[in-house]
Structure 1
Amino acid sequence: MNIDSIQNGVVLDHIQAGKSMDIYKYLHLNLLDCSVAIIKNVRSGRMGKKDIIKIDSPMEVDLDVLGYIDSNITVNVIRDGVRVAKKHLELPARLTNIIHCKNPRCITAEEPQLDAIFLLSDREKHVYRCAYCDAEKKRKF
């Protein structure tokens, strides 16, 4: 398989195998007017298997979304064919409009224009709580 290198863009590496399509959806990569390569199940010495996404256009990537999906992802920024930055992620302390409250009594159910805000309550178990009603939301990934 031959996947060309990119000159200007972003490479998302060390994605847990099988999670690249979730990232594609959450980052709305389908709306981009550039090449996006999704490489699944690549052999990795450290991870066994991993996914990689190459985006052939400079763009700002939502690090909170990526950190929520998989905090082991590395974000490589490529300029003129050279990596100029490498970002390591963490589980975000606060999520805004990434996940939504399932509590029908939550104010966000009655006032949909309000931002859906979740705060990290348990880093080990990946548990978030709604800032309005304290409903619990566990990361499914």
Structure 2
Amino acid sequence: MNIDSISNGVVLDHIQAGRSMEIYKHLHLDRLDCQVAIIKNARSGHMGKKDIIKIDYPMDLDLDVLGYIDASITVNIIRDGKLKEKKHLELPQRLVNVIRCKNPRCITTAEPQLDAVFLLSDPEKHTYRCAYCETAIDKKF
């Protein structure tokens, strides 16, 4: 398989195999008018299998969304065909409007215009708690 290199854009590498479509959805990549390549189950010496997303457009990404979905992702910024910057992600301390509270009594359920704010409460278990009602959400991997 041959996927062309990009000259100006972003390459998301080291995505856990099978997570690329979730990232595609959360970053609204379907709305872009540029080439987006999704490579699923690519061979990786380090991970066994991985996904890769190439976006042939210079754009700002929501690193909190990416870190929440998969903190092992490497974000490569490409300019003029060369690697300009490499960013390594971590679990975000605070998430806004990325996930919704599952508590039916939470204020965000009664007033959906409020921002859904979650704070990282247990990094080892990837647990976030609603800032309003403290309902826990565990990120399943």
Query: Could you say which TM-score interval applies, normalised by the shorter chain?
Result: over 0.9
In the alignment, does 2:106 pair up with 1:106?
yes
Give how far 1:140 is off: 2.1
- Specify the alignment match of 1:40 in structure 2: 40
- Specify the alignment match of 2:87 in structure 1: 87
Partner AA of 2:15 in structure 1:
I
Question: What is the count of residue pairs matched by the alignment?
Answer: 141
- Tell me the distance in 2 between the aligned counterparts of 1:108 and 1:50: 36
Q: Under a length normalisation based on structure 1, what TM-score does the superposition of the two structures give?
A: 0.99
Stretches (4+) displaced over 3 A? none
Write out per-residue CA displacement over residues 67-112 of structure 1, whole angstroms, 9 at most, x where no aligned residue. Answer: 0000000000000000100000000000000000011110001111
- Specify the alignment match of 2:49 in structure 1: 49
CA RMSD of aligned residues (A): 0.5
What secondary structure does 1:25 align onto? Answer: helix
What secondary structure does 2:22 align onto? Answer: helix
- Specify the alignment match of 2:123 in structure 1: 123
- For structure 2, list consecutive stretches of 5 or more residues without a partner in the other structure: none
Partner AA of 2:99 in structure 1:
I
- For structure 1, list consecutive stretches of 5 or more residues without a partner in the other structure: none
- Tell me the distance in 1 between the aligned counterparts of 2:32 and 2:15: 20
- Tell me the distance in 1 between the aligned counterparts of 2:29 and 2:108: 27
Q: Under a length normalisation based on structure 2, what TM-score does the superposition of the two structures give?
A: 0.99
- Specify the alignment match of 1:67 in structure 2: 67
> Percent identity over the alignment?
76
